[in-house]
């Protein structure tokens, strides 16, 4: 009984380095390393903390890139926090009145 416990403990100890190597193995090339970013915050996109999001910073989020011009209301090539607030609070156009 004591010998079998010792054998199990030795087996587990021998496999620990293998577990560490498997945990550090990168994903295959056909799988993304991380899932696409969902629900990015202003702060997470503003990687240089200058208070605005450039087109380069926005490029990590497909949805922000697609809507960049909607958010960049003053057309200066950056999205400021106030512009995001204004865009998000704007009433959607009523298609029945057009």
Give pTM, 2 decimals.
0.53
CATH code (residue 66) = 1.10.238.10
Residue 32, in any domain of the structure: no
**13-47: string of b/e by CB count within 10 Å (b at 16+)?**
eeeeeeeeeeeeeeeeeeeeeeeeeeebebeebbe
Q: How many domains does the chain have?
A: 1
Residue 95, in any domain of the structure: no
Domain hosting 57: range is 41-89
Distance CA(92)–CA(43), nearest Å, equals 25
Residue 12, in any domain of the structure: no
Nearest to 79 by CA among 93, 97, 96, 61: 61
- pLDDT, tens digit, for every residue of 4-45? 665 565 554 555 454 444 455 555 566 544 444 456 889 999
- pLDDT, tens digit, for every residue of 47-86? 999 999 999 999 998 888 999 998 999 999 999 999 988 8
């Amino acid at each position: 009984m004591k010998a079998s416990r010792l054998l199990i403990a030795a087996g587990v100890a021998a496999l620990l380095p293998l577990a560490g190597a498997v945990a550090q193995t990168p994903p295959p090339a056909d799988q993304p390393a991380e899932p696409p970013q969902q629900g990015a915050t202003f702060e997470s996109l503003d990687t240089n903390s200058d208070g605005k999001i450039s087109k380069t910073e926005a490029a990590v989020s497909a949805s922000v890139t697609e809507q960049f011009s909607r958010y960049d209301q003053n057309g200066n090539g950056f999205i400021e926090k106030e512009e995001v607030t204004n865009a998000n609070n704007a009433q959607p156009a009523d298609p029945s009145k057009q």
